[in-house]
Structure formats: structure tokens, C-alpha cells
Amino acid sequence: MMKIKKFTSILLAGTLTFGLVACGGSNGTTETGNADTLTEAPTDGEKITSPDQHEKFKIGILEVQLNDESTNRASYFNDYIAPQYNCEFMFSEACADLNAAMTFVENAADAGCDAIINYYAVGANTEQLIQLCQEYGMVYVENGGRNSQNDAAYQANYENFAGAFMADQPDTGRLFREYLLETMDSSESHNFIVATGGGYQGNAQQTEISTNMLEAIQELYGLTYDKTIEELITSASPITGTSDKGIEVYCYPGVPSAKGWLEGMSAALQTGKYDYLLLAPQALGNVGTAVSEVEEALNKDITIIGFGSFGDALTNGFKTKDKFGNTTVSMSTVKFTSLVSAMGFSKVYNMLTGYGDATHTADGQPAVGLFRMQAVTEASQLDEMESWDTPGKWVADYDVLNGFLGMYNEGITAEQVQEKINAVTYDSIKERLGSN
């Protein structure tokens, strides 16, 4: 089907493979030689049928935030995936913008990486990153979806582009919409901060979550905003939307790890106007202290609802109570880190081992794999699900991951891979791991 050519660098000193690599540069920790070896990934006629048939693949992992999820992902890749599939991984530090992401890609190429799995998810810049990876002969996969900003990249037939993986966006948005409508009292007046994250950059997931949050408020109160929901979400600067019912929403964009983001959020909270904080990006670990300080100083109860992941930030959010006797976090969503990681890994591994049909649709375009989030509203729920996705258990164990790989499923298509992903449900996981 397709042949990917790759220039391999020779590392002369100080390996980067299992360390953190700064997005802004190599930070003096590694020296690299010149690219002097040309190797080729297999074509469909040269498929690899076992991990010991290929030289060790190096895969770069591009992260936008260093948090509990990225820590768990590193454990899954380094300790579980690497020895089983003859791979090694190179991790970025937090990449807060496109320039930092592109610098990491260049560093990964210098270190001899065969592929990039991008958890940065900048939809508007998909094509730039694909082209950069193609220049260096690396397979590229990203956490994100297909939208108007990156559609051209899917149609361009890049040989190195293996598609994307993402949460089922409408379903994730639905979880937030339903929770807000079920738990809020329309007779009570509230004002809201909605952290829209990368909506202004075209981040499809954060756009979907923000849209459902804003629509739920609109539906609950039967109000009309003075701006369109699209205007509120796509603004690159903070923007306030007022309504005909006196309800105010303050839409606050940006990456939580970016310089100044937390300070700006804290300043908005300190105005005392807002008693609901709705988070489309993963920011629970960033805002907890700021919210607690405002609650204490202003004697004001602030409800936090937002996108999250397993780890200390979410655990503390559900097990810590504020001065009003409420848990710090009222509702969040979680995903199984190993499953999401396995989806990204399987795409690049299928490409590198000659099974490109497993990463592309029937018409030859890169496929987008979907997974479903789970809503969490109390600590006991969280404890149960978190116990499943841990070292030694992992939701996406070898049996699950092997089901995504052409190496073990000759002729598997992207549609069939999706069916296998869909089969990893709450009930199926509970049956397999719940009693362990």
C-alpha cells in the first residue's frame, strides 16, 4: 500500500529515549550524530508478523501537559508496551504552543524516532505537523478529530499520516449537558466561568464540551446570549456573554499549562461574580487551590465541573470537602489512559509493521478512532474505575491491544479495529477486572 522512508540518526552520547525532552530544545542533555542511514518500513508485501522481526522502533510522545494522565501513559508505554513490542519511547516536556511542538518533533527526528504520537491536538496545525514528520520520515498520529480546519490534511494522501484518535465528542458533551440539566435548579440564579480551552484553535473535543455546557445553561434558563455560542467559544481572548435573563457567562480560553492562564482564571474568580466553574480542558489540578482560596476569602461556594483524568488531582477533588461541606469537584469525566494510549500506539505500530489498511478507511483516508468517556460523580465510582487501569492490570492489556494490530489479525480494517474498541465497555471491563 505505502512505503515510509526514514533517515535514522546515530546517538553518540546520552540517550533521550526514556527521558523527558524539552519542547524548546535538547537542553544540553544529548548529542546526536548526523543522519547517515536510510531504512525503510515494510510495504504491504513485507509485513512483519512478530515483534522480534524488526529492529527496535523509537516513538516520540508529544504532550501538552505533564499531569497524572501523562505520568500513567509513560508507565504504560515504558514498562508494559516497550518490552512486549520491541519499542522505546521518547517523551516531551509540556508543549504549550505549536513552535514548542515542532521543536520536539525535530528533536525526536534527531534522536532517530520512527513515529510521533501527538497528544497536543492542535487541529488547525495538523498539516504542518504531518509535513514536518514526513520531511523527517516519521509516521504521524494525533489525539484529535477531523474538522474544517484540518480536513485538507485527511484528503492530501500523506504517506506518513495514520489518522487520529479521540473521545466520542457528542457523547462526551452529552454527559456534561445532562449533568447540568439534572442537578441545577432553574429558580436559582448563577453566573458561570466556562474554560473553553483550545476552542479558539479548533480543538474539536473542547469545542464540543464547551458548546454543550453553554447550551445546557441556555436551555435551563430559557435565555438568549448577546453573542452566538460560536463567538464565545472561538474567541482567543476572554469574552463575556450576558443574557436576557441576567445570567452571565465568562468564557476563558487557553491551555491550562500556559504562562498566565491560572493567574487569569484566579483573577476572574476573585471578582466574586461567579459560582460555577465549568472546565472543557483538563484543568482540575490547576484550579483547585485558586478556587479554595476564593471560597475562603469571599465565603462563596463555587461548584467545579470539568473534564478530568485518573490521578491525584481528581482523587483529591472527590475526597476533599470545602468549607461548605461539598466535594471540591462535583462531576468529571474520565477515560482509561491505557486504552487511549493503545489506540495511538496501534496506529503507528500498524503503519510501521506494514498494516496500513488497519489505519485507513475503505476509501483510503486516515481513520479517526473513537473512545467513550465515563461520568464520575462520587469517590466510590472513581475508586472502582481507577483500580482497573493500573500497572499489572491495565484496561488495554496485551489481549486487548493485540486485537487492534494487523500483526495478529491479518486483513483487519480500520472499521473492525473500531468495533474492537467499542467492545471495551464499562461492563466488559468490570467483568474482567472488577473482582481482581
Q: Which domains does the chain have, with CATH numbers?
A: 5-167+337-373+393-433 (3.40.50.2300), 169-334 (3.40.50.2300)
Give tens-digit pLDDT for 252-291: 999 898 899 999 999 999 999 999 999 999 899 889 899 9
Does the structure show a pLDDT above 90 at 64?
A: no
pLDDT at 124: 66
Residue 39 vs residue 307, higher pLDDT: 307
C-alpha to C-alpha distance for 151 and 134, rounded to whole angstroms: 18
| Nearest one of 20, 13, 17, 93 to 56, comparing CA atoms | 17
Helix (H) or strand (E) holding 433: helix 426-433
Does the structure show a pLDDT above 70 at 50?
A: yes
Does the structure show a pLDDT above 60 at 235?
A: yes
Pinpoint the alpha helices (H) of 272-336.
Answer: 284-298, 312-319
Percent of the chain with pLDDT over 70: 88
| Nearest one of 146, 137, 62, 156 to 100, comparing CA atoms | 62
pLDDT at 419: 97
Percent of the chain with pLDDT over 90: 68
pLDDT at 197: 94
Contact residues for 376 (Cβ-Cβ < 8 A; gap 6+): 308, 314, 318, 331, 332, 333, 334, 382, 385
Tell me the average pLDDT of the chain: 87
Averaged pLDDT, 57-72: 89
CA distances from 16 to 71, 96, 155 (A): 17, 21, 34
Give tens-digit pLDDT for 298-322: 999 999 999 988 888 899 999 999 9
C-alpha cell read off for 251? 468564557
Helix (H, G, I), strand (E, B) or coil at 302: coil
| Nearest one of 220, 249, 221 to 235, comparing CA atoms | 249
Averaged pLDDT, 25-30: 38
**Pairing outcome for strands 115-118 and 87-92:** unpaired
Specify the range with the lowest mean pLDDT, choosing from 88-92, 165-169, 351-355: 165-169
Contact assessment for residue 251 and residue 237, using Cβ atoms and an 8 Å cutoff = no
